[in-house]
Structure 1
Amino acid sequence: MSAPVPHTAPDPLERERAHLSSSRSALRAMRADVESLDIKDVTANWVNAAVLQSQIEDRITALADLAHTPLFFGRLDYLHAPGAEQAEGAEGEQFYIGRRHVHDADGDPMVIDWRAPVSQPFYRASKKQPMDVRLRRRFGYTGGELTAYEDEDLTDAAGDEHASRLLQSEIERPRVGPMRDIVATIQPEQDEIVRAGIGGSVCVQGAPGTGKTAVGLHRVAYLLYAHRERLARTGTLVIGPNRSFLQYIEQVLPALGELNVAQATVDDLVAHVEVRGTDTAAAARVKGDARMAEVLRRAVRSGVTMPVDPVVVVRGSRRWRVPAYEIEEMVRELLARDIRYGAARDALPQRIAHAVLVRMEEAGEAPDDRVQDAVARNAAVKSAVKSVWPQVDPAKLVLRLLSDAEFLAAHAEGILDAEEQAEILWDKPARGVKSAKWSAADAVLVDEAADLVARTPSLGHVVLDEAQDLSPMQYRAVGRRCTTGSATILGDLAQGTTPWATSSWPEALTHLGKPEATVEELTMGFRVPREVIAYASRLLPTIAPGLAEATSVREAAGDFTVRAVQPSELDAAVLDACVSALAKEGSIGLIAADARIAALADVLTAAGLPFLSPGEETSAEARLTLVPATLAKGLEYDYVVLDEPSAVVSGEPDERTGLRRLYVALTRAVSGLTVVHAAPLPGQLG
């Protein structure tokens, strides 16, 4: 008789790899099921068929298995079945937490979406509050392959809380390419914001590296999960400061399976006219002031006049007369209601027509709604409305306001002083809307005027990033896109680099139309090394005295060097720093004052170093990006070489704005920062 073969328990890592393999197979089967759908006999017409086919294609795309994106990153072992009574001896369930839901052929879940309620303890549970979780397991991946796991026993209340090595490793992992999601590393304070209800708006004041942009994007993904039907009807929008920033973040939501979220800049939202001109800082500040809203309101209504003649409507052999005083009462009542100009203009002919119908009924006739509509379209009524309440073209109105001193003075009286009026008037009046050299601030004024005429459609949810840089009028432009929806506002007062940058969130939220929004502050940094954030924070007492200094949880100290050179050695020293950074893993950003970009481009080209522009995706062949300081906001690089800080400061209209721009540039580094300077550093940096 042969000896029994000893039983050996399977390796836990191999079990997890087997589950990963099975989950990937299940995901492929889910996608195959959608691809095999036959809709030719399902829809009533070609329009419905096209819509359904588009939805199917989106679903197929959302179910793609991304080879280098882990399908799940964690596991929860519950003490009891979630939602069930906690009976003694009841066995808990086990859930794998990932970027999307995956089920097997029987419909049983193999991976739970990170947004599901049952996944929440993965981010919130602790030894003090285990949330009925026995064990939390994190997984480590290398190139898409599951290579490690780490367990945390939450039932041991007496044990110490230890930082997760895998979590720390994921946070500090070098990055190449666009911004990635943070579903595996969301922290409890971030998760509270992500899962905030759709009914309220949230403002996140976040220091550099605290993940505020990622939090905002993940909140969109969460809201789409929790309120998909509602947001499918009303729409969602992410607003960023510039195109480079939007390119940098554009892969985050698709990686989470969300494909139908629009992205835009504020300039995109207000693109009623072609922007070809620029303003002085003083002119832009006045045009962006909230007082301009009242100037425009007055100007829009300025064409309304009181009637002097009655309206006589001829129908068949009868003539119906509405006297001028009665029409004047209608006009004054509509003005007093303060409804939109276009809506009031549309209501006036119906009011006149109703007055005619009253006279018809008094004469014994029995007119119905069709008669009222016919009277409202009568030539005499239309002529009277055109005379009393003329149509307004928003662009033409703003054109006149900015080029006609008398017209501006009449409507800015008591609001803008003479100096402010002179500041925003154009030197040379344009001959027409198309020939005008509109500025970005002018386009916002046109948008305000357009909303005074006709209501701007509202979306279900709007995310506004780098919000500290908006003017009050820009806040109003964004706010009218979510009047009936909610908003997530993201920013950092210390990084405000426009002449009109906001000084407080309550003020900004009031302009946005969301004064009731909750303000949350994130001060715990996850990306910027301790030494770098501490160095940059030396600027805070000058640029944002009321803000708390950010801290960093990163264990890695990071590479941090400040190197002083002679002016003749500056270009060579910057080049040397870039070459040294390229010898390491990850992305490299060379940040410099805008005026220095052309010269540095020549230096890099002469040295044979390929480089990219902000927003372009890095690759193995090109990991160096040449970044003008004005476009650095919101971007991150593993290693940053900062050229001549004093030039960054002097490139702005005033020292405070310049120091804020420098603060932004200093805090773009994830793993290391090298500052190279020939001119003296700002005194605040010591």
Structure 2
Amino acid sequence: MAADQRPDPASPTSHPAADPVLAAEGEHLAHARRCLLAMVDTAEHIADYGVDELASHALGALRAQRLTTLTADPNAPAFFGRTDREPDDGRRGPEVLHIGRRHVRDDAGDPVVIDWRAPIARGFYRATADEPMGVRLRRRFGFADGRLTSFEDEQLDRGEALGLDSELLRAEIERPRVGPMRDIVATIQPDQDELVRADLDTSLCVQGAPGTGKTAVGLHRAAYLLYTFPERLRRSGVLVVGPNQAFLHYIAQVLPSLGEGGITQSTVAGLLGHQARGDEPVALAVLKGDARLAEVIRRAVVSHARKPTEDLVAVVGTKRYRVYAHGLRRYVDDARRALGPGLRWAAARDRLRMQAAEDVRRQREDAGGAPTDAETARVARSQPVREWVDSVWPELTAPALLARLYDDPDFLARCAGTSLSEAEREALHRPAPRSLRTIRWTPADVVLLDEIDALLRPQDTFVHAVVDEAQDLSAMQCRAVARRCPLGSVTVLGDLAQATTPWAPGDWARTLDHLGHAAAVLPLTAGYRVPGEVLAVANRLLPHIAPGVPPATSVRQGEDAFRLVPGGTVAAEVRDCLAAPGSVGVIVPDARASAALEDLQAAGVAARLLDDGPDDGPDDAATRVTVVPASAAKGLEYDSVVVAEPAAIVAAEPSRLDGLRRLYVVLTRAVSRVRVVHAEPLPAELT
């Protein structure tokens, strides 16, 4: 017996209101909406009795967060699925649970909608005919403009399970989109759900082929962890790291739509405390991203600690107290050994001052005195003690230290030892200007400055970090992320075949080592978004760019999904794509982006250039077509993609390997169709 499917939401002859099941579900949907509005009203009227300013501030923050959770994505249906389960309490009849993006309760406190992250909702995603997990029936709902239009049943207790043959599931996966990335709570597959619900103490590395939903998995895992471990995570937070600002804008609404806020989303550069304003040769950037620079920097910092050779004399009132040099050397040696995550350079200066002052306190106590803590603190702040600390443990700044490393060949040679060759040290040499403010630090420099800062003073940390496109990070960038999550866990997302930076390690084991977390590498190869016809072409590049990565597959073959257009025009292909619903991405070599936009506009096609601003406009021609520089395409998704001149995209990268990987990324950005327009011959690896 086939699973029940009725009515067809696309059929003009359907009358959903006449179906008794749809009518009953529609009433429950309306009831859920009323209950949600009542919850919003209750949150708005949370009373503040003015106990104190701190309590009022905390209550205000709690109320604002609660309102954000309840009102996020108001156009989304209150539920998207339902399970009928075997009752646990011996009642007659099944236990009916409606599954939605957030928990909804009635005035009596009884659940009307179950949050998709609740343990009891797991069966909606994982139950099969062979392992029903207590689920008798699974029901999916179809919506149009917020109205319930159809449903689809799977009678698991009768051995009926549609899986990816579900029409509603496929319709939701393939639904055209314009604007930011959507959540996938209605379409999470069992292999994805297993990753989403992994324990907080478990670090994951997801090697995901294009279209497998690895980014969505990482974001939904963050939402799941925040729901499941609220006390541990809301105090220290969750960090989401993306490759660029355009990508962050693209994913920005996913977590709020799931009712989660207060999450830090940033690029690696955005985490660092210095601005990059310069550029440099690729080879030099690769050298600066090498993990060997971490040890060079540590030695450079530690080299500023000097062994005391003279006694310290502190004056308290009319008496002088001598702290002998051998004791001072012990304090300095202890600080040198402890320097690192447990003791930063700035904190060590404070500790040395207090150790010297405590020595004076003991001498005063031995003489029969009773010095107070305040008196001891004054000794620590006294001029002789401060001058002594400055002489053996001087105050340091990251810009001054890095500038000295670049400027002083002898200093760099001492700090590098045998870890850097003479040629590498010469490549790093750069005379320091008179003023540090005039230095135009490069992106690789800024990462090194952060490495120095981490030795000088503490940095903000998080309990969990989601690191997307991690295959592109250098060793030093990985260390910068690792410092933000030293004791928690990470979700590492990426695809070695899409590594497009010359400093990419090219191996997950090395990346995870630099991130400081042990994690199993879990592959996602089943694509849900990119048509199989497109992947079949893109997979031709895999033997050249990532021989060890298994080819991506797709649950959707696609129809006329890939087409080569030799000698055609981009404007004509864009017009053809606009005949279908959804967004259109025009991906071109970086140097041709502005010209491509002008050509489209001259041809009467309304388009805009991808920038760092949000892509959340209405579904009209002005926002449907976006011209995307090839270097910014990673992580983005469009219903239709028009690729211009693949050979030029490849040639624009520093090496052939980098260029082919860039092309692999570009070819796998489409949900429905790809059109490749070219006048130049295609790369041989593609044909």
Structure 2 equivalent of residue 63 of structure 1: 70
| Counterpart residue identity of residue 376, structure 1 | A
Conserved in 1, the CA contact under 8 Å of 2:641 and 2:670?
A: yes
Output the TM-score relative to the length of structure 2: 0.93
Superposed, 1:473-512 pairs within 5 Å as 473-512=476-515
The answer to whether structure 1 residue 287 and structure 2 residue 295 are counterparts is no
Conserved in 2, the CA contact under 8 Å of 1:558 and 1:671?
A: no
Q: Give 1:44's match in structure 2, choosing from 28, 52, 70.
A: 52
CA deviation after TM superposition for structure 1 residue 502, in Å: 2.3
Q: How big is the alpha-carbon RMSD for the aligned residues of Structure 1 and Structure 2?
A: 1.9
Q: 1:558 to 1:219 in 2, by over 3 A?
A: farther
The answer to whether structure 1 residue 449 and structure 2 residue 449 are counterparts is no
| Counterpart residue identity of residue 346, structure 2 | G
Superposed, 1:468-547 pairs within 5 Å as 468-514=471-517, 516-547=518-549
3-state DSSP of counterpart to 1:141: strand
Conserved in 2, the CA contact under 8 Å of 1:529 and 1:558?
A: no
**Gaps spanning 5+ residues in structure 1: where?**
1-8
Instruction: Please give the alpha-carbon distance, in whole angstroms, between the structure 2 residues aligned to 1:281 and 1:14.
Output: 63
The answer to whether structure 1 residue 125 and structure 2 residue 124 are counterparts is no
| Counterpart residue identity of residue 365, structure 1 | G
Instruction: Please give the alpha-carbon distance, in whole angstroms, between the structure 2 residues aligned to 1:138 and 1:398.
Output: 59
Conserved in 1, the CA contact under 8 Å of 2:565 and 2:678?
A: yes
Instruction: Please give the alpha-carbon distance, in whole angstroms, between the structure 1 residues aligned to 2:651 and 2:244.
Output: 22
Q: 1:170 to 1:520 in 2, by over 3 A?
A: same
CA deviation after TM superposition for structure 1 residue 158, in Å: 8.0
3-state DSSP of counterpart to 1:455: coil
Conserved in 1, the CA contact under 8 Å of 2:379 and 2:385?
A: yes
CA deviation after TM superposition for structure 1 residue 558, in Å: 4.9
3-state DSSP of counterpart to 1:663: helix
Instruction: Please give the alpha-carbon distance, in whole angstroms, between the structure 2 residues aligned to 1:380 and 1:43.
Output: 47
Q: Give 2:61's match in structure 1, choosing from 54, 68, 75.
A: 54
Structure 2 equivalent of residue 79 of structure 1: 86
Instruction: Please give the alpha-carbon distance, in whole angstroms, between the structure 2 residues aligned to 1:124 and 1:640.
Output: 33
| Counterpart residue identity of residue 54, structure 1 | A
Structure 1 equivalent of residue 685 of structure 2: 684
Question: Which stretches of structure 1, 4 residues or longer, exceed 6 Å deviation after superposition?
Answer: 158-162
Structure 2 equivalent of residue 313 of structure 1: 314
Structure 1 equivalent of residue 207 of structure 2: 205
Structure 2 equivalent of residue 214 of structure 1: 216
| Counterpart residue identity of residue 438, structure 1 | W
Output the TM-score relative to the length of structure 1: 0.93
CA deviation after TM superposition for structure 1 residue 468, in Å: 0.7
The count of corresponding residues between Structure 1 and Structure 2 is 663
Q: 1:43 to 1:608 in 2, by over 3 A?
A: farther
Conserved in 2, the CA contact under 8 Å of 1:591 and 1:641?
A: yes
Q: Give 1:578's match in structure 2, choosing from 543, 550, 574.
A: 574
CA deviation after TM superposition for structure 1 residue 517, in Å: 2.0
Instruction: Please give the alpha-carbon distance, in whole angstroms, between the structure 2 residues aligned to 1:555 and 1:411.
Output: 57
**Gaps spanning 5+ residues in structure 2: where?**
1-17
Structure 2 equivalent of residue 616 of structure 1: 615
Q: 1:616 to 1:416 in 2, by over 3 A?
A: same
Instruction: Please give the alpha-carbon distance, in whole angstroms, between the structure 1 residues aligned to 2:92 and 2:365.
Output: 78
The answer to whether structure 1 residue 325 and structure 2 residue 326 are counterparts is yes
Instruction: Please give the alpha-carbon distance, in whole angstroms, between the structure 2 residues aligned to 1:521 and 1:402.
Output: 42
3-state DSSP of counterpart to 1:295: helix
Point out the more displaced range, 158-167 or 174-183. Answer: 158-167
3-state DSSP of counterpart to 2:484: coil
The answer to whether structure 1 residue 301 and structure 2 residue 302 are counterparts is yes
The answer to whether structure 1 residue 421 and structure 2 residue 422 are counterparts is no
Conserved in 1, the CA contact under 8 Å of 2:586 and 2:641?
A: yes
Q: Give 1:26's match in structure 2, choosing from 25, 35, 41.
A: 35
CA displacement, residues 520-548 of structure 1 (integer Å, 9 cap, x when unaligned): 11111000000101110110111011011
CA deviation after TM superposition for structure 1 residue 361, in Å: 3.3
Structure 1 equivalent of residue 630 of structure 2: 629
Q: 1:579 to 1:161 in 2, by over 3 A?
A: closer
Q: Give 1:602's match in structure 2, choosing from 571, 574, 598.
A: 598
Structure 2 equivalent of residue 6 of structure 1: none
3-state DSSP of counterpart to 1:155: helix
Conserved in 1, the CA contact under 8 Å of 2:72 and 2:259?
A: no
3-state DSSP of counterpart to 1:506: helix
Q: Give 2:254's match in structure 1, choosing from 228, 252, 256.
A: 252
Structure 2 equivalent of residue 232 of structure 1: 234
Structure 1 equivalent of residue 14 of structure 2: none
Conserved in 1, the CA contact under 8 Å of 2:154 and 2:161?
A: no
Structure 2 equivalent of residue 379 of structure 1: 383
Structure 1 equivalent of residue 352 of structure 2: 348
The answer to whether structure 1 residue 396 and structure 2 residue 397 are counterparts is no
CA deviation after TM superposition for structure 1 residue 239, in Å: 1.1
| Counterpart residue identity of residue 220, structure 1 | A
Q: Percent identity?
A: 49
Instruction: Please give the alpha-carbon distance, in whole angstroms, between the structure 2 residues aligned to 1:200 and 1:157.
Output: 34
CA deviation after TM superposition for structure 1 residue 368, in Å: 4.8
The answer to whether structure 1 residue 153 and structure 2 residue 155 are counterparts is yes
